[in-house]
Amino acid sequence: MMSLTMLEKELVAVAISVAAGCRPCTTYHLAEVKRAGATGADIEKAVAGAVCVRTSATEGMGRHALGLEPAPDGCGCGTTDMLAELIAIGASLAVNCTANLDKHLAAARALGVPQEHIDEVAALAAMIRSKAVHHVEKHLGDRAAPAPTAGCALVAAPAGCC
């Protein structure tokens, strides 16, 4: 089975970074996705998918906290291709949104997305979330938790990585 291409991984990484709200991660992965050959339209699509999922997750939690029924259509992203579903899966993982995750996992599987690709996205999301938490904790000063040490085999993570 083939892995995701570097371009696909970086488009997903941009979406995860945006959904996680991590500026350093987003900046890093924007440079990497451009280096991998992404067009402006590719980047816009990844960012739009991330924002759609993040907005839906926020609204969904608000509805839950107020005791309201969930919105019937979830994020409403209306994605129809494999990469868009992987982007939505990554964004859903970035914001802990199981409702959107379930929706996009089902859609990805219906489109024939290999489990290996879903696993790559899950590992990438875990790595970026870990880095995002570290960036925020640095603002706490000496009271911050130690930096995560786990790396990611999916995207080379040099010292300056998100």
Q: What is the pLDDT of residues 33-73, one digit of tens each?
A: 999 999 999 999 999 999 999 998 988 889 889 999 877 66
Predicted TM-score of the model (pTM): 0.82
């969930």: which residue's tokens?
70
Q: What is the pLDDT of residues 109-162, one digit of tens each?
A: 999 999 999 999 999 999 999 888 887 888 777 564 555 444 333 344 434 444
Query: How far is Cα 144 from Cα 155, in angstroms, rounded to an integer?
Result: 26
On whether residue 148 sits in a domain, the answer given is: no
On whether residue 79 sits in a domain, the answer given is: yes
Domain of 60, CATH number, reads 1.20.1290.10
On whether residue 158 sits in a domain, the answer given is: no
Instruction: Name the residue range of residue 69's domain.
Output: 6-143
Q: What is the pLDDT of residues 5-44, one digit of tens each?
A: 999 999 999 999 999 999 999 999 999 999 999 999 999 9
